[in-house]
Amino acid sequence: MRGPRPALRSDAREGTPDAASRVRVRVPATSANLGPAFDCAGLALACHDVLEFALAPSGLEVEVTGVGAGELPADESHLVVRAFRAACAELGWTPSGLRVAAANDIPQGRGMGSSAAAVVAGVVGAWALCPDVAEVDRTAVLRLTTELEGHPDNVAPCLYGGATLSWTTDDGPVADRLPVDPGIAPILLVPEATLSTHVARSLLPELVPHADAAFNAARAALLVHALTAEPALLLDATEDRLHQRQRAAAMPETLGLLDRLRAAGHAAVVSGAGPSVLVLARRAPGEAPGALSAVADLTPEGWTVRPLDVDAGGACVLETSHQVSSR
């Protein structure tokens, strides 16, 4: 189901609206690559940052609670604010003042798409708050967030939800959403250590053997089938030769865990650039993942084991408050 989805803007209003004065936006964590589909596939996870954007008479106020509180900047350098300003420039709109309140739950520097979530939240927040547009244009948001993030593999599932495939054409980025089999139950294993995406990418070779490229192309095609229709194939479908082991020097504990999990039959991958690990386990509807206990037993001390649902909706405007006309 490629392209536009229903409008992101909430229709809950009171009185006669002039323009939105406050919006709340929820954005999910994401896991990119999913093994072989490097810089192409991504999965939205039910772990969220919730941000409120409100117009103010002047200035900028940023408040962060939860993950990153006391650590993230509270000025124009904050990534959410930078993305919001970029969207305002795109829309030709400059608010007189802005208040941003971020309640963060997505771990940062762990390969869970925290920067993509911040960029999507800022752009969607500006679109939803701008008085000159009626609804959020997801296609335009995908293009701008891809420009800001550098590639669409995380911003696409963050924006659309579910599993996505994304690619870039001469006309810009495109994303398509896949229906995830309901029996797939993600389990995220999160270490205390962090890893910069820039550092992780710097470890990748510029050239790869033809045999490895062909191997990954075949596994990426199989991954689509496994995600959507045949989860029993996920162990084979998540094999990779292009990027995970090449980054082992930066996250040896992650690769050790990955090897133990896969040897035990679990479809485990490095989540994004790492160092978290994503296990695509299986379960009956309404039940906990059957592999949860076994996966937890193989996970090192100090890591957090988080069973998470797939986030099917992606970025969402939870609430819109409007100024009321005095006319």
Q: Could you tell me the CATH number of the domain that includes residue 259? A: 3.30.70.890
Residue 127 within any structural domain of the chain: yes
pLDDT 10s digits, 124-139: 999 999 998 888 899 9
- Residue 205 confidence (pLDDT): 87
pLDDT 10s digits, 190-248: 999 998 888 888 888 899 999 999 999 999 999 999 999 999 999 999 999 999 999 98
Query: Residue 59 in 3-state DSSP?
Result: strand
Domain CATH for 83: 3.30.230.10
Is the CA virtual torsion 53, 57, 60, 66 positive or negative? Answer: negative
Residue 66 within any structural domain of the chain: yes
25/165 same-domain check: yes
147/222 same-domain check: no
Residue 228 within any structural domain of the chain: yes
The residue assigned the tokens 């992606």 is 314
Mean pLDDT computed over every residue of the chain: 91
Residue 245 within any structural domain of the chain: yes
92/236 same-domain check: no
36/55 same-domain check: yes
DSSP 27-50: EEEEEESTTTSTTTEEEEEEEEEE
Identify the helix (H) or strand (E) that includes residue 296: helix 292-298
125/201 same-domain check: no
pLDDT 10s digits, 35-78: 999 999 999 999 999 999 999 999 999 999 999 999 999 999 99
Query: Residue 158 in 3-state DSSP?
Result: helix
pLDDT 10s digits, 274-312: 999 999 999 876 667 779 999 999 999 999 999 999 999
The pTM (predicted TM-score) of the whole model is 0.91
Residue 271 within any structural domain of the chain: yes
210/125 same-domain check: no
Query: Residue 304 in 3-state DSSP?
Result: strand
Residues 6+ apart with CB under 8 A from 13: 320, 322
- Residue 200 confidence (pLDDT): 83
197/232 same-domain check: yes
What's the domain count of the chain? 2
The rounded distance, in Å, linking the Cα atoms of 143 and 86 is 12
73/193 same-domain check: no
- Residue 322 confidence (pLDDT): 61
The residue assigned the tokens 């870039």 is 168
User: Which residue range(s) make up the domain with 279?
Assistant: 184-307
161/260 same-domain check: no
Residue 2 within any structural domain of the chain: no
Query: Residue 24 in 3-state DSSP?
Result: strand
197/318 same-domain check: no
Nearest to 289 by CA among 251, 258, 261: 261
Residues 6+ apart with CB under 8 A from 44: 28, 29, 30, 157, 158, 160, 161, 162, 163, 164, 310, 311, 312, 314
265/319 same-domain check: no
74/170 same-domain check: yes
- Residue 19 confidence (pLDDT): 60
